[in-house]
């Protein structure tokens, strides 16, 4: 049966690997307050200072904006310390290797790398998955089949846009069911490349109407189609 000392040593070894073994990917499962962010900062420091990787080549993805802000703050604080002293030192936690650390490079190189990382921190990819995805879409809009300008919308804007699309679809279907020629042309345009026509949709709508359904009853179906 493992002793407490054995468990502590295993934990310490795991923390050292997380911080220093950048050639392998690690899955870390731990509870709140166990030091996951601290270890992530330590791993970033290994990449930035020990290995000299430019911060522009690093992506650190978090679940929410609060976590991204916390990670950025801690990383900046640690980089500032390295820039001033050339090392990391925490007298209150002398046995924690992630908070007490020197580097193999000379002091001038270490400080230069820290300064360069701090300067690049405002534009670094330390963000949520949504923000990182938006970053990629902004960098490669044409490759993603998007217009050159891509902007993020908040929840209110997204809900409003969904409502506008739903009302537009209902209006178009209503006009199509009423025999509006322009509506039929618009539907055929939207269905180009698909084996369906405005006449097909109009016939289906008429069947629903004959069975007592109103066009407005399709609202939930349209909303589901929009989301999926």
Residue 164 lies inside a defined structural domain of this protein: yes
| pLDDT at residue 225 in the model | 67
Residue 144 lies inside a defined structural domain of this protein: no
The pTM for the full model equals 0.63
Most confident residue range from 7-11, 44-48, 100-104: 44-48
Sign of CA dihedral 45, 49, 51, 53: positive
- Are residues 52 and 129 part of one domain? yes
Place of tokens 């938006």: 134
- Are residues 37 and 114 part of one domain? yes
Structure tokens at 201: 């949709």
CA–CA separation, 158 and 138 (whole Å): 19
- Are residues 109 and 190 part of one domain? no
- Are residues 176 and 110 part of one domain? no
Domain that holds residue 213: 155-227
Cβ atoms within 10 Å, residue 179: 9
Alpha-helix runs per DSSP H in the chain: 4-20, 36-45, 65-85, 107-120, 129-139, 155-177, 181-190, 198-210, 219-227
- Are residues 115 and 12 part of one domain? yes
Statement: residue 216 has pLDDT above 80: no
Of 79, 112, 139, the one marking the end of a domain is: 139
Give every CB contact of residue 120 below 8 A, 6+ residues apart in sequence: 54, 55, 56
């Amino acid at each position: 049966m493992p002793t407490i000392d054995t468990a502590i040593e295993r934990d310490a070894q795991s923390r050292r690997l997380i911080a220093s073994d950048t050639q392998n990917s690690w899955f870390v499962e731990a509870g709140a307050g166990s030091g996951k962010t601290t270890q992530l900062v330590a791993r970033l420091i290994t990449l930035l200072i020990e290995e000299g990787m430019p911060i522009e080549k690093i992506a650190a993805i978090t679940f929410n904006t609060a976590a991204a802000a916390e990670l950025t703050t801690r990383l900046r604080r640690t980089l500032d310390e390295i820039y001033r002293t050339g090392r990391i030192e925490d007298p209150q936690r002398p046995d924690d290797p992630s908070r007490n650390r020197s580097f193999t490079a000379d002091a001038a190189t270490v400080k230069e790398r820290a300064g360069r990382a701090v300067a690049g921190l405002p534009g670094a990819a330390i963000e949520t998955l949504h923000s990182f995805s938006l970053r990629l879409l902004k960098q490669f809009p044409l490759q993603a089949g998007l217009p050159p300008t891509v902007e993020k919308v908040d929840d209110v804007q997204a809900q409003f846009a969904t409502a506008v699309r739903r009302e537009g679809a209902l209006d178009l279907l209503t006009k199509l069911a009423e025999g509006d020629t322009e509506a039929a042309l618009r539907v055929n345009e939207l269905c180009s490349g698909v084996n369906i026509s405005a006449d097909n949709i109009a016939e289906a709508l008429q069947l629903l109407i004959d069975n007592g359904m109103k066009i407005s009853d399709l609202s939930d179906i349209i909303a589901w189609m929009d989301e999926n």
